[in-house]
Amino acid sequence: GKRGGHVLECPQWITSSGRTGGHRWQASWMQGLSSWGRVSYGEALNHSTKVSSTVTLPQSSRRVSSGQAHRNPFLRRTSDTRRSLHLKGAKARKLSVMASETKAQSVLVTGAGGRTGRLVFKALKERSGTFKAFGLVRSEKSAKNLPQAKEDEIVLGDVAKKDSLLQAMRGKDAVVIVTSAVPKINYPSLVPVLFKKLIRNPNPGMPSFSFESNGEPEKVDWLGQKNQIDAAKEAGIAKVVLVSSMGGTQTDNMLNKIGNGNILLWKRKAEEYLVRSGIDYTIIHPGGLQDTPGNERELLVGVDDSLLSSQTRSISREDVARVCVEALTSPAFKNRSFDIASKKKGDGNPTPSVEPLVKSLPPYDYSINSQLDREGVSA
């Protein structure tokens, strides 16, 4: 579709044969819709292992002078043994500390059954030496989207039920939130729009959208994410990475009109709630999400929706997933909120890491179009 005058890749269902006749769809109401198409609802490591190497020696060998040890071979051997045990104990403690420092982070991905969430889960699984991944899904059907997951790595939960979230988060080190409300197109309303498009009517209009019951943006993107943040805080989670969306500074953004959901406003409210929670956070605002390979494009970052005026404002879901993983390992992402998009493939060089880009960014300004202050909600 077209978003603010710039062409984005259309979601698969727009170009699929049999629904639109294969015609390419370019309409302003499609701006950024792919950024949440079919996404399911969905203390840094501080392990201190104490090693006890207590050795009980014969009473006669507890106080041994150097002269005694020199004259008595048994005492000399005993003294040597004590020194050896001491060195081995120190080495064991050092090795234990090293092991604790390299222990894999336990990370829960919520919304793991969605098209972006499953890629975050997969990216974590690919770094099993660094992370132990768990995926939170709403149903066993959603769990089928994680074929690489072991049975004990899948957790059933509901963002509307804080108790289930709290149970899923206990014992975890970090949480990546990739849940979002999903608008559904009312297909009969698409017919007249397509017809006007075929006859080149300059004002084809737009089809209508709706949200499932209990799947509205207010319940999923605000209350559901608030539940996740509250549960994370109560469970002692050290880091939360939240995948949101660009456009939160704009009340009149077209995405807010879809299904009359005001989705970006509810997302922004949840972001502000996380910022004020006291938890170490990273908030990522991707542009229109594309189902294309990652690591192939130059990435762009910004704050306060500055990228909305750029020529390209889309990004591969795989690139978003790897940025989520990077945010879990680099201190440069601590308490950062930023927008991210990519250039067209072949335009510039692929970006191996966004850490240097994030370091150069100014703080994100949540006083712009603040939603949390309107109702005086506090974390």
How far apart (Å, rounded) are the C-alpha atoms in residues 172 and 169? 5
The DSSP string of 113-148 is: TSTTHHHHHHHHHTTTTTEEEEEEESSHHHHTT-TT
Confirm if 314 and 344 have CB atoms less than 8 A apart. Answer: no
Q: Which two tokens stand for residue 139?
A: 């149903």
In the chain, the N- to C-terminal Cα span, in Å, equals 37
Confirm if 246 and 287 have CB atoms less than 8 A apart. Answer: yes
Query: Is 245 an annotated catalytic residue?
Result: yes
At position 323, the amino acid (one-letter code) is V
**Structure letter (DSSP) for residue 20:** S
Task: Name the β-bridge partners of 175.
Answer: 108, 240
Distances (CA, A) of 270 to 60, 219, 274, 371: 69, 11, 6, 9
How far apart (Å, rounded) are the C-alpha atoms in residues 134 and 155? 7
Q: Which two tokens stand for residue 78?
A: 């005993």
Closest to 228 in 3D by CA, of 137, 165, 138 = 165
Task: Tell me what percent of the chain is helix, strand and coil, each rounded to the nearest 5.
Answer: 40, 15, 45
Closest to 174 in 3D by CA, of 279, 99, 318, 276 = 279
CA 113 from centroid of its chain's CA atoms: 13
Choice among 40, 142, 245, 316 that is catalytic: 245
CA 121 from centroid of its chain's CA atoms: 9
SS3 369: coil
Confirm if 181 and 163 have CB atoms less than 8 A apart. Answer: no
- Per residue, what are the HEC states of 201-219? CCCCCCCCEECCCCCCHHH
Catalytic positions, please? 245
